[in-house]
Amino acid sequence: MPRFQTEPPYRHGTAPLTGIVLVNLGTPEAPTAPALKRYLRQFLSDPRVVEIPRLLWWPILHGIILNFRPKKSAAKYASVWMPEGSPLKVHTERQAKLLRGLLGERGHRVTVEWAMRYGAPSVPAVLDRLKAAGCTRILVVPMYPQYAASTTGTVVDEASRWLLRQRNQPEMRFVRNFHDDPACLDALEQSVRQHWMTHGPLGANDRLVVSFHGLPRRSLDLGDPYHCECLKTGRLLAERLNLAEGQYQVCFQSRFGRAEWLQPYTAPTLVSFAKGGTQRVDVICPGFVADCLETLEEIAMEGKADFLGNGGKAYHYIPALNENPDWISALAGLVERHLSGWPTREFPDSEALTATALRAKARGAST
C-alpha cells in the first residue's frame, strides 16, 4: 500500500481556498440494529473513548455489548428520528449551511463542510473533498464546547492521521474549546430567557439543572480538563441568569458500566429533587450544540419520567442551540478569530485598505 494518497490534479490559475469543517460525534445511518452495531463498533473501539486495555475490553465489546445493545439503542433512536435523518445529522448539516451563508455575508471566501467522527460523512472523506476542491488551509471545528480527550482529542487524532497520508499537506488549525466564549454564553443565556418568557420564571423552590455528558472519574484524575470546563460553563451561565448557588445544579448524564463517573449523576439528582419537594425543574445541556439522542431521549423523555414519576409537577427541557441565530453568529465569530491571518476575504476590508494606504504613504515620505 502506498505511503501517501494520490494527489488531486493540480489546477493552474486558481486561487487557494480555505476550508472549514464542523465535526460532531456521529450517528448511525438508520435507527436499526445492524446500523447501530456498525456505529457502536467504530465508536467503542476508539481507545480514547474507552481506555480499558484491549485484552479486557475486546471480549466485553464483541461478546456482550455488540450482541445486545444495538437493538435497545435502535429503539431509542427511532423515538427521536426525524424525516431527514438523525437529529444530530440534521442540525449539524443545517448549522454548516447557515455558517457558510453568514461568513459569505461577512465577506469571507471560504468553503464550509461538516463531518462525523464516527459514521458518515467521515472526517477523512470530507478532508479529501476539501483538498480536491483546492483548499490549502483547513480549520477543523470540533463541535464540543468543553475539551475532552474522548471528544475533541479524537477529532484531532483522526485529522492528524489523514495529514500523515498526504504528500502535499494543507495548513491546518483546530478549535480546542469554547466553553467560556462570551458570545456562545450569550446565546445560551438568551435561549433560557426566551424559555422563561414562555413558561414563566423559576420559583423560589424550582431548579435549573445544567446537565453535561458524563465521563469516567478516572479521566479527571489523569488530567482531563473536561470536568473543570463544564463547571465553569455552568457557573458563568448561572451568573448571567442571576441565579443563586442553590437555584441551579451542574450534573452529568449517560453513565455507562460500573466504574465511578463524574458526579453528581443527572438521573438520581432529578429523583432527589422531586422527592425533596422541588415542584419544577428546567434542564439545559450546554455541552451539546445540537440536539441528539442524549438530549431528546435521555433528558427530554427519560429525565421527565424520572422527575414526574417521583412527585415533581413540571419538567421542561430547554432545546440545544441548534439553528438559533445568536448561536450561528457566535459560531461565525469563533471561526473568524481562528481564521485570523489567513486571507479569506475576497476584498480587503476598509481597515486593511487604510493600513495599506498608510504604509504606502510612509514609504513615499521616506524616499
- Collect all residues with Cβ–Cβ distance below 8 Å to 366 and sequence separation of at least 6: none
Q: Residue 269: its pLDDT value, please?
A: 97
**Rounded-to-integer distance, Cα 202 and Cα 347, Å:** 49
Give residue 219's domain range.
182-317
pLDDT digit string (tens) for the chain, length 367 residues? 788 988 888 777 677 899 999 999 999 999 999 999 999 999 999 999 999 999 999 999 999 999 999 999 999 999 999 999 999 999 999 999 999 999 999 999 999 999 999 999 999 999 999 999 999 999 999 999 999 999 999 999 999 999 999 999 999 999 999 999 999 999 999 999 999 999 999 998 999 999 999 999 999 999 999 999 999 999 999 999 999 889 999 999 988 777 899 999 999 999 999 999 999 999 999 999 999 999 999 999 999 999 999 999 999 999 999 999 999 999 999 999 999 999 888 655 434 443 444 345 445 544 4
**Rounded-to-integer distance, Cα 300 and Cα 317, Å:** 5
Q: Say if CB 142 and CB 174 are below 8 A apart.
A: yes
Same domain (yes/no): 23, 164: yes
Same domain (yes/no): 270, 126: no
Confidence (pTM): 0.91
Q: Is residue 207 part of a domain?
A: yes
Q: Residue 155: its pLDDT value, please?
A: 98
Q: Residue 349: its pLDDT value, please?
A: 47
Say how many domains are in the chain: 2
Same domain (yes/no): 166, 21: yes
143: closest CA among 213, 193, 73, 74?
213
Same domain (yes/no): 213, 144: no
Same domain (yes/no): 186, 157: no
In three-state secondary structure terms, 263 is coil
Q: Say if CB 150 and CB 215 are below 8 A apart.
A: yes
CATH classification of the domain holding 331: 3.40.50.1400
Q: Is residue 38 part of a domain?
A: no
Same domain (yes/no): 159, 125: yes
Q: Residue 362: its pLDDT value, please?
A: 44
Q: Is residue 256 part of a domain?
A: yes
Same domain (yes/no): 186, 311: yes
Q: Residue 353: its pLDDT value, please?
A: 41
Same domain (yes/no): 269, 128: no
Q: What is the DSSP string of 200-239?
A: ----TT-EEEEEEE--BHHHHHTT--HHHHHHHHHHHHHH
Same domain (yes/no): 194, 129: no
The helix or strand, by DSSP H or E, that contains position 173, with its residue range, turns out to be strand 171-174
The helix or strand, by DSSP H or E, that contains position 140, with its residue range, turns out to be strand 135-142
Triad 325, 28, 81: Cα angle to 5°: 55
Q: Is residue 332 part of a domain?
A: yes
Same domain (yes/no): 140, 195: no
Q: Is residue 196 part of a domain?
A: yes
Same domain (yes/no): 114, 164: yes
Residue carrying C-alpha cell 464516527: 118
Q: Is residue 254 part of a domain?
A: yes
Q: Is residue 46 part of a domain?
A: no
Same domain (yes/no): 213, 279: yes
269: closest CA among 243, 246, 250?
250
Q: Residue 129: its pLDDT value, please?
A: 96
Q: Residue 267: its pLDDT value, please?
A: 96
- Collect all residues with Cβ–Cβ distance below 8 Å to 253 and sequence separation of at least 6: 211, 212, 213, 214, 265, 266, 267, 285, 294, 298, 299
Q: Is residue 23 part of a domain?
A: yes
Q: Residue 15: its pLDDT value, please?
A: 77
